[in-house]
Amino acid sequence: MSKIITLSLICIILAGFSASAKQSIYNIVDFGAKGDGKTNNTKAINAAIESASKHGGGTVYFPAGDFLSYTIRMKSKITLNLEQGCRLIGDQEVNGVGYDLPEEDAWYKKFQDYGHSYWKNSLIYGDSLHDIGITGNGMIWGKGLYTYDKPNIKGSGNKAIGLKNCYNVTIKDVSILHGGHFCILATGVDNLTIDNVRADADRDAFDIDCCKNVRISNCNINSPTDDGLCLKSSFGLGYARPTENVTITNCHVYGYDFGTLMDGTFKKEFKDETPGAKHCITGRLKLGTESNGGFKNITVSNCVFEHSRGFCIETTDGGFVEDIVINGITMRDVTDTPFFIRLNARMRGPAGTPIGVCKRITISNIIINDVGGRPIFPEMGAAMIMGIPGHYIEDLTLSNIRIVYRGGASKEAIEKPVAENIDGYPDPYRWHTLPAYGMYFRYVKGLNVSNVVLRYMNRDERPAFILDEVHDANFDNIDAQKENGTPQFILKNVTNFSSHQVRGMDDKQVLKTEKQTF
């Protein structure tokens, strides 16, 4: 008799567990959604989220099918799970009916680009939430999203995922096609994990802004016309907040034609050959340009770049950039400079903000092949590390680096003036051809360069290295190709320079010089 009672209790308990598990999954079809590619399912999807939220949270399940929707309003303790074969499609607004309207204008909107001041006009939106997720092997297709800002079109949306002031967020395994201005815009989001996400973007893929404790891993990112993986620290929250404690690892960054990552063709038929064009194929990793709060404690490792730009580290609006490590990177077919480190004074922020600081950066174990500018500037490509007068990039280490440039410039380029661009938008295209083919340093203190090999594919009569207003610099074990009669180094206003084991020249020790070549 006791065994019968025990078995009955076990059955009751298991039934309770089964009912509980079933209740925690909310299938959008049960709320009236139709995956026919014709029906707008905004009400049904949000009803499923509301029901799950009222019962303490759960998984809102999207089965296979094409589900059109406008703004999906996330709630705390909710995960959206997109099944394999599901396409969540951003619908096109009709006669002003569509996505939620953006937030009302704030006094500080002028301190960042339009898109960084608004989140509500997204396909998936959340503000001040916790413990949320977007998972599954399905696709988010922002078909009806605008790539550029449309502030005057009521009901328009321009972001696939827009999150603000959230914590404990996971985005995993989904694909995002045509994300509008941003596939993911996360602002003030802490404890953020993005893993195994494929993004085929027609502008920015991931923008991680004013966030803390972020892990981005195993992602494939294609972004031909804008930044692929971009860390920012804007004034979009109404105050300066750093982006800090970030790891980026095992990611691929591309600039192939839009849509050709997702279909596996990896085409590069798009050509930017317009004279005077500001941008080339992009697809890069960038810290900046918005940089009010700065960047701290960032590590990038084991990433692959192809047919894209390299990486940028920029502080231009007063933020601190410190303790940055970039290690184990390979690049091929780089469309401008392999890396660009810039401290300047655009100062787009509240009056009285001091100019930023850029220090303690280590870049190591980098292999880069075929570096050069877009077709109208084929000789563009030198790595660029530049502060401004009175404000230096400090404590920079470059080690175990091998770069092959396209090259092709004549010796006339050596005398070309290099603009300061103190208060402008910081981007390599503003300098075009530099007087060095390899690495150009200006306003740097505490520079260590070791185990570096530089080559070029076309005859280039520029030196490998130029140092201008550089102090406390050491070069060790350098093998840089050069033409007969071309110096390896040009030093201008340099103090405490030393070199050891530089191929083709004796060891040097320079305490102070206004100009010296060797």
Which residues touch 50 (CB under 8 Å, ≥6 apart)? 75
> Which one, of 136, 196, 133, lies nearest residue 161 by Cα?
133
What are 233's strand-pairing partners?
A: 291
Q: Token pair 């870049």 is at which residue?
A: 363
Quick one: CA torsion of 490, 493, 499, 502, rounded to 10 degrees?
-10
What are 346's strand-pairing partners?
A: none
Say if residue 314 is exposed, middle or buried (CB neighbours under 10 Å; 0-12, 13-18, 19+): buried
Q: What pLDDT, on a 0 to 100 scale, did the predictor assign at position 16?
A: 45
CB 183 within 8 A of CB 158: no
Three-class SS state of 426: coil
Calpha distance 45→68 (Å, rounded): 10
Radius of gyration, CA atoms only, the chain? 26
Per-residue tokens: 473: 């610099």
Calpha distance 343→422 (Å, rounded): 9
User: What's the full length of the chain, in residues?
Assistant: 518
> Which one, of 447, 449, 453, lies nearest residue 475 by Cα?
449
Calpha distance 61→57 (Å, rounded): 13
Q: Which helix (H) or strand (E) covers residue 460, if one does?
A: none
pTM across the whole model: 0.93
Say if residue 218 is exposed, middle or buried (CB neighbours under 10 Å; 0-12, 13-18, 19+): middle
Q: Cα-flanking dihedrals φ and ψ of residue 304, to 5°?
A: -120, 130
Residue 195 CA, distance from chain mean position: 15
Q: Token pair 């005398």 is at which residue?
A: 415
Opening angle at CA 437, ends 298 and 420, nearest 5: 70
Per-residue tokens: 216: 């981005």
Calpha distance 125→251 (Å, rounded): 25
Q: What is the pLDDT along the chain (518 residues), one digit of tens a residue?
A: 444 444 444 444 444 444 444 569 999 999 999 999 999 999 999 999 999 999 999 999 999 999 999 999 999 999 999 999 999 999 999 988 999 999 999 999 999 988 899 999 999 999 999 999 999 999 999 999 998 877 667 889 999 999 999 999 999 999 999 999 999 999 999 999 999 999 999 899 999 999 999 999 999 999 998 999 999 999 999 999 999 999 999 999 999 999 999 999 999 887 654 444 445 688 899 999 999 999 999 999 999 999 999 999 999 999 999 999 999 999 999 988 999 999 999 999 999 999 999 999 999 999 999 998 766 666 788 999 999 999 999 999 999 999 999 999 999 999 989 999 999 999 888 888 899 999 999 999 999 999 999 999 999 999 999 999 999 999 999 999 999 999 999 999 999 999 999 999 999 999 999 999 99
Three-class SS state of 356: coil
Q: What pLDDT, on a 0 to 100 scale, did the predictor assign at position 150?
A: 72
Q: Which helix (H) or strand (E) covers residue 51, if one does?
A: helix 42-54
Per-residue tokens: 112: 């960042």
**Separation of first and last alpha carbons in the chain:** 98
> Which one, of 355, 296, 283, lies nearest residue 324 by Cα?
296
Which residues touch 227 (CB under 8 Å, ≥6 apart)? 204, 205, 207, 282, 283, 284, 285, 286
- Tabulate helix, strand, coil % of the chain (nearest 5): 10, 50, 40
